[in-house]
Structure 1
Amino acid sequence: MSNTNPLLDVSGLTKHFPIKGGFPIRRTVGAVQAVDGLDFQVAEGESLGLVGESGCGKSTTGRLITRLLEPTGGKITYRGQDITHADRKGLAPIRSEIQMIFQDPYASLNPRQTVGKIISGPMEINGINPEGGREKRVREIVRHFSQRVAVMYLGKIVEIADRDDLYDNPRHPYTRALLSAVPEATVDAEPRERIRLAGDVPSPINPPSGCRFRTRCWKATEKCATEAPPLVQAEGNKPGHLTACHYPETADTIPAPRLSKDPEAAA
């Protein structure tokens, strides 16, 4: 996207929640690095989707942008105005323009049903049969709502691109793993190979050195442990498609060792 007069400009946005310990004096003994140096822009009239596993920092990012949380570092600019540490009075003129809609998933969604089933339910009840089938219409889940998509992992953005470019040409191994876990459009289709990530997401209290995804990545090397990859436009990427990886994926680099035909496998 163009860098000319963005509606929202986020630079180096950081939020660390202190961990208190010790007795009888409560002192800071560590910090949860919920968001750790985000850089992105949103143009007027544009929508940007944040995706990633639970706990990656999406909700914290939203609360920081809406100024429901005080940033630890970085800068938030809205319509050219620095609102990073704006007080209640300073936010009053724009409060109606920057809001967050909270959702209690257990009050809104049936935990016994998939999201796809919940979305397709009204079409089934009303006898609506879109061209290409209901499943295809359902998947059109975030991809057609967001014009650009940013992928977060452990407090950092690892890839950001136009939605179609990201879905068609994921360059970061984590993005590829996430997309490989998306359910098939039809149950009759041959299950596609899915990337099964080893281990769990590391603790944001003590994230891995270098690339934070390296502990679960099949391509990790010593370089990944010592050097944090910058979020840049990798060779072969379209303009605006940024990837934070020393060894970005290509169409023929799906890793054989961690693939599964198991339709229940997920990233």
Structure 2
Amino acid sequence: MKEDLVLPAAREATADTPPEPLLEVSGLVKHFPVKGGFPIKRTVGAVQAVDGLDLTVHAGESFGLVGESGCGKSTTGRLITRLLEPTGGRITYRGRDISHATRKQLAPIRSEIQMIFQDPYSSLNPRQTVGKIISGPMEINNINPEGGREKRVREIQAQVVNLLQKVQRELGIAFLFIAHDLAVVRHFSQRVAVMYLGKIIEVGDRDSIYTRPRHPYTHALLSAVPEVTLTEGEAPRRERIRLAGDVPSPISPPSGCRFRTRCWKAQEKCATEEPPLVRLDGNRDGHLTACHFPEEPTTGARAEDIVLDPALTALEEELGD
């Protein structure tokens, strides 16, 4: 499990006042120059790590940010905490523009906006999962807790998440929770944004994101981790979406919708027009989606498997024989 946490201090909302916008990000951009040429190095392109990102975190809120590796989540965290200088856009904290604030100007709020790095490659063995690292000592010492070692490992994870929630309640802080583990994000976050190739493509409260996703990429992301939807009273989901190819290069992202090269619903419009992040017809709960051809608002809209990778299909057929 890997999480990066941004912790701005916050004033809690009361019964008479709604949560105030604590952190507002508008049109945030971060491009890293690509050098090339010989013998003189010159800029030949740019990695569009974050490219026009909008989000708002309210006082006392837990806001989850999810997406595949390389989509720009960690860069977003570093921009918000001003560990990186934005290429463009605006970052506002408590109504104050800190987009290009100097070190001296940032000094008074450094104690209020902090980032906790959870980099497993610098602190843990990258050849093993976190669960294996934690259960290893139990195995070596022949310790067999009640319910099994795996259950005990999951209790270590739950304790960490519960501790964060306790700290949030006691101190009234807000979290921007950047993670890969969708089950943890669902448990911890009140609202969730889904990021793909430098852009937010869907955002809403956790229930609508996890049970009524509208963007095809969100469907695919959730289908890769089926346990996140298997809560009490829910039927197991049968759909399984496996996307063709890898995430396109952020140096040269696709025109129009950036997900179109991996999407089973892509049409000509998707290549020529970038879909705006908007509230769809009939949706009044603040759920926003950036898609020209959104999915039906249910994870059970399709009963069949959707396999988009021909090589994977051929391999499964070969193994089946």
TM (normalized to structure 2)? 0.70
Look up the match of 2:198: 155
Tell me how far 1:109 sits from its aligned partner. 6.6
Look up the match of 2:168: none
Tell me how far 1:141 sits from its aligned partner. 1.9
**Contact 2:19 2:59 (8 Å CA) reproduced:** no
Look up the match of 1:104: 119
Rg (Cα) greater in structure: 2
Look up the match of 2:101: 86
Report the Cα distance in structure 2 between the residues aligned to 1:255 and 1:228, rounded to whole angstroms. 29
1:44 to 1:162, Cα distance in 2 relative to 1, 3 A: same
Look up the match of 2:306: 258
1:234 aligns with 2:268: no
Report the Cα distance in structure 2 between the residues aligned to 1:42 and 1:224, rounded to whole angstroms. 30
Report the Cα distance in structure 2 between the residues aligned to 1:5 and 1:183, rounded to whole angstroms. 35
Superposed counterparts of 1:129-208, under 5 Å: 141-184=184-227, 192-208=238-254
Look up the match of 2:291: 245
Look up the match of 1:218: 264
Higher mean displacement: 102-111 or 38-47: 102-111
**Contact 2:239 2:302 (8 Å CA) reproduced:** no
Tell me how far 1:184 sits from its aligned partner. 3.3
Letter in 2 for 1:17: F
Q: Structure 1: 5+ residue runs without aligned partners?
A: none
Look up the match of 1:29: 44
Tell me how far 1:193 sits from its aligned partner. 2.9
Q: Structure 2: 5+ residue runs without aligned partners?
A: 1-16, 159-181, 317-321
SS of the residue aligned with 1:7?
strand
Tell me how far 1:237 sits from its aligned partner. 2.7
1:66 aligns with 2:81: yes
**Contact 2:215 2:294 (8 Å CA) reproduced:** yes
1:140 to 1:51, Cα distance in 2 relative to 1, 3 A: closer
SS of the residue aligned with 2:91?
strand
Aligned CA RMSD, in angstroms, stands at: 3.4
Look up the match of 2:162: none
**Contact 2:239 2:304 (8 Å CA) reproduced:** no
Report the Cα distance in structure 2 between the residues aligned to 1:183 and 1:92, rounded to whole angstroms. 44
**Contact 1:12 1:37 (8 Å CA) reproduced:** yes
**Contact 2:243 2:307 (8 Å CA) reproduced:** no
Report the Cα distance in structure 1 between the residues aligned to 2:18 and 2:280, rounded to whole angstroms. 19
Report the Cα distance in structure 2 between the residues aligned to 1:118 and 1:105, rounded to whole angstroms. 13
Corresponding pairs, count: 255
Report the Cα distance in structure 2 between the residues aligned to 1:255 and 1:212, rounded to whole angstroms. 26
The structure in which a higher percent of residues are helix is 2
Higher mean displacement: 219-228 or 100-109: 100-109
Report the Cα distance in structure 2 between the residues aligned to 1:3 and 1:54, rounded to whole angstroms. 34
Look up the match of 1:51: 66
Letter in 1 for 2:269: K
SS of the residue aligned with 1:164?
helix
1:209 aligns with 2:246: no
Percent of aligned positions that are identical:
68
**Contact 2:239 2:306 (8 Å CA) reproduced:** no
Look up the match of 2:163: none
**Contact 1:5 1:80 (8 Å CA) reproduced:** no
TM (normalized to structure 1)? 0.83
1:10 to 1:146, Cα distance in 2 relative to 1, 3 A: same
